[in-house]
């Protein structure tokens, strides 16, 4: 970024805190509608950051988040002063989304993008039975589990971490394939896969053991087959204050402080 004027657009969560921050910043700094802005400033938590990245998917529009939510792992500290200078000094993190391709039990096809993870979950008391393929080769004939997820490095500290999946450095050329409450095989803890791999999960007996598929916040139910791979044609750009980029935050997360 240069020192020239930067056109800013604001988005905010509907919470009172975020709306108060929006009113404060809007009074301090000239702004334009987010669709016309060079940089979008998102006021909220990690959920808003994901929503904003999805909203501008395919535009490579930088998003600078300031924490006015409950978690804020992806966000910068909220300070109303010096916003233009902070934007000028910010560091870029670029990630790519997973493209999920779904075929349901009726034979209909659906697609959706995931920034964090693609997950598959059982819909009833019956455990899911899943067959795992990597680049067209069956690697796991039958997984009996509550489900499975495929996480990007960006999303490895989210749902993936909560089901004991590995944390991946942001620039690692890897995807994490992690079972959710695996029953068989008991000792299978998942796999680290090349980031260019295409992963296909077939549901065994989807009528008896129905399974849903979720790409971040988009869900399809009663699925028969799900494939996913990174879409390198799409750049998602986040801005962070120097010394507080995603690479540093992921390292901090691994050491538990």
Write out the catalytic residue numbers.
46
Residues 142, 92: Cα–Cα separation, whole Å:
41
| Residue 116 labelled as part of a binding site | yes
| Residue 101 labelled as part of a binding site | no
Residues 124, 245: Cα–Cα separation, whole Å:
40
**At which residue do the structure tokens 């902070």 appear?**
86
| Residue 146 labelled as part of a binding site | yes
**At which residue do the structure tokens 């801005």 appear?**
239
| Residue 161 labelled as part of a binding site | yes
CA-nearest of 214, 211, 205 to 223 is 211
| Residue 160 labelled as part of a binding site | yes
- In sequence order, the β-bridge partners of residue 147 are 121, 180
| Residue 29 labelled as part of a binding site | no
Residues 80, 59: Cα–Cα separation, whole Å:
27
| Residue 162 labelled as part of a binding site | yes
| Residue 17 labelled as part of a binding site | no
Q: Rounded to whole angstroms, what are the CA distances from 134 to 76, 137, 226?
A: 37, 5, 12
Annotated binding site: 46-47, 116-117, 146, 157-162
Residues placed in the known binding site for NAD(+) = 46-47, 116-117, 146, 157-162
């Amino acid at each position: 970024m240069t020192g020239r004027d930067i056109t800013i657009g604001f988005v905010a969560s509907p919470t009172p805190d975020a709306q108060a921050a929006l009113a404060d910043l809007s009074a301090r700094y000239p702004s334009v509608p987010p669709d016309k802005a060079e940089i979008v400033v998102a006021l909220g938590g990690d959920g808003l950051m994901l929503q904003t990245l999805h909203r501008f998917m395919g535009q490579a529009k930088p998003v600078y988040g300031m924490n006015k939510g409950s978690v804020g792992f992806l966000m910068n500290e909220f300070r109303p002063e010096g916003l233009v200078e902070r934007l000028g000094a910010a560091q870029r993190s670029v990630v790519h989304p997973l493209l999920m391709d779904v075929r349901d039990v009726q034979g209909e096809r659906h697609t959706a993008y995931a920034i964090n993870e693609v997950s598959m979950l059982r819909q009833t008391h019956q455990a899911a039975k899943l067959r795992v393929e990597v680049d067209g080769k069956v690697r796991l004939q039958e997984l009996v589990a509550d489900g499975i997820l495929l996480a990007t490095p960006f999303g490895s500290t989210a749902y993936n971490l909560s089901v004991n999946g590995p944390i991946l450095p942001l620039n690692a050329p890897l995807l994490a394939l992690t079972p959710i409450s695996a029953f068989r095989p008991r000792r299978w803890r998942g796999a680290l896969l090349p980031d260019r791999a295409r992963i296909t999960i077939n549901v065994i007996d989807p009528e008896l053991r129905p399974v849903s598929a979720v790409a971040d916040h988009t869900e399809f139910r009663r699925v028969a087959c799900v494939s996913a791979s990174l879409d390198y044609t799409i750049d998602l750009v986040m801005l962070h204050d120097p010394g507080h980029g995603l690479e540093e935050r992921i390292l901090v997360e691994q050491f538990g402080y």
